[in-house]
Structure 1
Amino acid sequence: MDRIIEKKKWNSKKIMTIAGITAIVALVAGSIFFTSGKSKLNVDVERITISEIKKGPFQEFIPVNGVVMPLTTIYLDAIEGGRVERKFVEDGATMKKGDPILKLANTDLELSLANQQTSVFDVLTQMQISRSQAQQNTIGKLNQMADVDNALKEADRIYKLNKKLYAQKAIGLQEFQSSENTYNYQLRRKKLASDILKQDTISVSKQLQQSNESYANMKATLELMRKKVGDLIVRAPVDGQLTSMDAEIGQSKNKGERLGQIDVLSGFKVKVDIDEHYLSRIYNGLAGDFTFADKTYKLKIKKVYSQITNGRFQVDMTFDGKVPAGIRRGQTLQIRLALSDETQAVLVSKGGFYQQTGGSWIFKLSDDGKTAYRVDIQLGRQNPDYYEVMQGLQPGDKVVTSSYETYGDMQELVLKK
């Protein structure tokens, strides 16, 4: 009779199939397990910068460069053009007001002066001739007036005498009327001579006044011409130091051309260039400081020049207090220009991390210092050394402030020593 053969439950094929399926499930589960956690990156501690968060005084400032300049500068321009004939001093000389600096030669101007002098002398000569003629004319009229006065007196004497004689019937009517007519004639002649003399006096007075005014005008013109010729000698307008001298013997200078400048040595100011980005925050009275010979000195903005050139504008700063001994014109100073008052704040050192994070997060070290993980932060004001931390960090925390350029999207850094 037939015998029933029992089927084996676990053969090698089934075992291998189950093992394969188990391996695949384990692989998938492991992959899910490992990829579901935080991405980590091993980092050498010696290649990163770790900074400690601290609380301390904070002031928003910008570093700027300033050049020491005289407090007052007077520019020397050629009032009249000409050729440089002589230099009395060299650049850098200390000048007193009125000291000659250089002499320009201008033949045309000097010839004009000579012609003007000749014209003035001609006018003066003509005036003297006219005045002499007027005087002679007046003397002649005065002589005529004297003759008229004498004739009137004689006619008056005869008229009065004949009047008495006629009353006494000593003379006839014809003789009396003749003396009366002669008297009346001399009266009219006297009045006419007086009017002529009066008009002559007025005419001579006006002519003399016009001549004097004409002479005064020509004399003023002559003085102006002399001054223009005198301006060919350039003189120091104030006490100070001659700088930026730009003139050589034989060189031609046009009218209005810059020749140099006089620096008044009564004090100094600092000319500062600032990026146009800060224009709205810069105003008179804003303070700054700099270090010179291991000492700190203070400055204040006195004047803001709002004109922007090549993306920058200028301000004048004056010393607030003591001026450094030994400071010289043209020196460059490195200035910290304060944009806010000093306050207490939580601070994080500046570093390359900001370029990748924009200040929105940072890697913060764990308590044991073995790892660093991402935390969200908010930064406020800044200066060249620190950012102001508004939230996300506390004093005593340690963070990675060096560049995150090679970290990609890593969530955690494993710090290796």
Structure 2
Amino acid sequence: MLVGGILLLALIAFVLISSGGNSKLNVDKERISINTANKGIFQENIPVNGVVLPITTIYLDALEGGRVEEKFVEDGTIMEAGDPILRLSNTDLELSLVNQETQVYNLLTQMQISQTAARQNTINRLNQKTDVENNLIEAERVYKLNQRLYEKGAIGKQELIESENNYNYQNQRMELAEEVLKQDSIATEQEVNQSKNSYSRTQKALELMRKKVEDLIVRAPVDGQLTSLDAEIGQSKNKGERLGQIDVVSGYKVRVDVDEHYISRIYTGQQGTFNMNNKEYTVEIKKVYTQVNNGRFQVDMNFVEEVPEGIRRGQTLQIRVALSQEKQAILIPKGGFFQQTGGNWIFKVSEDGSRAFKVDIQLGSQNTEYYEVIQGLQPGDKVITSNYDNFGDIQELVLD
């Protein structure tokens, strides 16, 4: 019984020791990815997709509504400023122009008639003044003559008084004629100025109406390429409706969509890089659109120094936008392990390469290629970076 008890205790101890060890799994090295932690230059960045757009786009809207009568060019044509694109017709607008022109001509005729009447009236006033002036001269002569004759006793006092009264009367008439002529001159000047102002306003209205009729011919506002032309012969267009656009082809920019998670870390002046035709190019953020739609916001980036040869509007570029400055850090390549571990632990390979053990780590920032290791690994450590889906809760891997 004593021997049996000892054997039972030994069996229990063996089971406890066996169950307390690490669980193991044999893994084929060919089916996993093993990488080395290295110390190098690290820069946090995010991958984004950008669409190449013209540096400037001018939209063509119908300034006046009408029916498309004629198309002078087709979509994609290179235009110069002022070149006609299409012609609209608007009978009501053209009729309004005719009425406005008639109104201007009628007003001009009325002005001419009014000026002629004013000049005739002035002439009549001047003739009246001349008659009054002549009568005054004659009355003055008679009065002075009668004064001398009265002094000599040749005439009576009654005749002297009569000539004096006539002289005073003609003086008053002369003053009145001068005042009438003065007021007539002022009234004529005011009437002329009012007529000129009225004519000027009507003329401006006519010019505006002519400009509206001229706007029925849609022209290129700047040099560039006509794109997105949406107009066919016989089609009716409302005022303000989009007809197309002119792309200024003197340069290009890149419109980029960014996840709203990074909105506080994106600002003008930040740079990004992309590869094209085995060459790296640099772009820089020039404008940030802070409006968020469907969890994303947009930025415009301009090319720095060199633009890739053969780049085209609408082309998609895969850009790496830098979020930090370069620094020295311990790096491990990105891999599928992160989906299972969340970056909290990783399988580290033993020095002889025969086994791999779970070790706790702490990761920092990341870019499109690497994770930054803050603690848990040293340069030269080998780790398994491939997917851990088949490992379950295994603590140790035996590498075959």
How would you bin the TM-score normalised by the shorter chain? over 0.9
Between the aligned partners of 1:32 and 1:63, the Cα distance in structure 2 is 51
Q: CA deviation at 1:111?
A: 0.9
One of 147, 150, 154 as aligned partner of 1:170: 154
Q: CA RMSD in A?
A: 1.5
Q: What is the one-letter code of the residue matched to 1:375? A: V
Equivalent residues of 2:320, 2:368 under 8 A apart: no
Superposition map of 1:230-241 within 5 A? 230-241=214-225
Q: What is the one-letter code of the residue matched to 2:375? A: Q
One of 79, 85, 88 as aligned partner of 2:69: 85
Gaps of 5+ in 1: 1-16
Q: Aligned residue for 2:288?
A: 304
One of 240, 244, 250 as aligned partner of 1:266: 250
Q: Aligned residue for 2:359?
A: 375
One of 138, 141, 145 as aligned partner of 1:161: 145
Q: CA deviation at 1:22?
A: 6.0
Q: Aligned residue for 2:349?
A: 365
Q: Aligned residue for 1:217?
A: 201
Worse overlay, 33-42 or 96-105: 33-42
Q: CA deviation at 1:408?
A: 2.4
Q: Any idea what SS the aligned residue of 1:255 has?
A: coil
Q: Aligned residue for 1:324?
A: 308
Q: CA deviation at 1:25?
A: 3.9
Equivalent residues of 2:229, 2:244 under 8 A apart: yes
Q: What is the one-letter code of the residue matched to 1:356? A: Q
One of 227, 245, 261 as aligned partner of 1:243: 227
Between the aligned partners of 1:373 and 1:348, the Cα distance in structure 2 is 17
Worse overlay, 20-29 or 234-243: 20-29
Q: Aligned residue for 2:125?
A: 141
Q: What is the one-letter code of the residue matched to 1:363? A: F
Q: Aligned residue for 1:7?
A: none
Q: Aligned residue for 1:386?
A: 370
Q: Any idea what SS the aligned residue of 2:309 has?
A: coil
Between the aligned partners of 1:224 and 1:117, the Cα distance in structure 2 is 11
Q: What is the one-letter code of the residue matched to 2:34? A: I
Between the aligned partners of 1:98 and 1:28, the Cα distance in structure 2 is 98
Worse overlay, 268-277 or 25-34: 25-34
Q: What is the one-letter code of the residue matched to 1:65? A: N
Q: Aligned residue for 1:336?
A: 320
One of 277, 290, 298 as aligned partner of 1:293: 277
One of 181, 188, 193 as aligned partner of 2:165: 181
Between the aligned partners of 1:414 and 1:326, the Cα distance in structure 2 is 53
Q: What is the one-letter code of the residue matched to 1:39? A: S
Q: Aligned residue for 2:174?
A: 190
Q: Aligned residue for 2:111?
A: 127
Q: What is the one-letter code of the residue matched to 1:359? A: G
Q: CA deviation at 1:192?
A: 0.9
Q: What is the one-letter code of the residue matched to 1:190? A: M
Q: Is residue 2:8 matched to residue 1:27?
A: no
Between the aligned partners of 2:280 and 2:383, the Cα distance in structure 1 is 32
Q: Aligned residue for 2:267?
A: 283
Instruction: Tell me the number of residue pairs that the alignment of Structure 1 and Structure 2 aligns.
Output: 400
Q: Any idea what SS the aligned residue of 2:357 has?
A: strand
Q: Aligned residue for 1:75?
A: 59
Q: CA deviation at 1:46?
A: 2.0
Q: What is the one-letter code of the residue matched to 2:160? A: F
Q: CA deviation at 1:274?
A: 0.9
Equivalent residues of 2:362, 2:375 under 8 A apart: yes
Q: Any idea what SS the aligned residue of 1:327 has?
A: coil
Q: What is the one-letter code of the residue matched to 2:98? A: A
Q: CA deviation at 1:211?
A: 1.0
Give the TM-score, by structure 2 length. 0.96
Between the aligned partners of 2:256 and 2:393, the Cα distance in structure 1 is 43
Between the aligned partners of 2:156 and 2:105, the Cα distance in structure 1 is 68
Q: CA deviation at 1:406?
A: 2.6
Q: Deviations over 1:242-274 (max 9, x none)?
A: 111111111111111111111122211111111
Equivalent residues of 2:231, 2:243 under 8 A apart: yes
Aligned-residue sequence identity (percent) comes to: 65
Between the aligned partners of 2:276 and 2:355, the Cα distance in structure 1 is 44
One of 387, 391, 394 as aligned partner of 1:403: 387
Q: Any idea what SS the aligned residue of 1:355 has?
A: helix
Q: Is residue 2:32 matched to residue 1:48?
A: yes
Q: CA deviation at 1:18?
A: 7.2
Give the TM-score, by structure 1 length. 0.93
One of 244, 251, 255 as aligned partner of 2:239: 255
Between the aligned partners of 1:292 and 1:176, the Cα distance in structure 2 is 120
Q: Is residue 2:188 matched to residue 1:204?
A: yes
Between the aligned partners of 1:48 and 1:92, the Cα distance in structure 2 is 52
Q: What is the one-letter code of the residue matched to 1:284? A: T
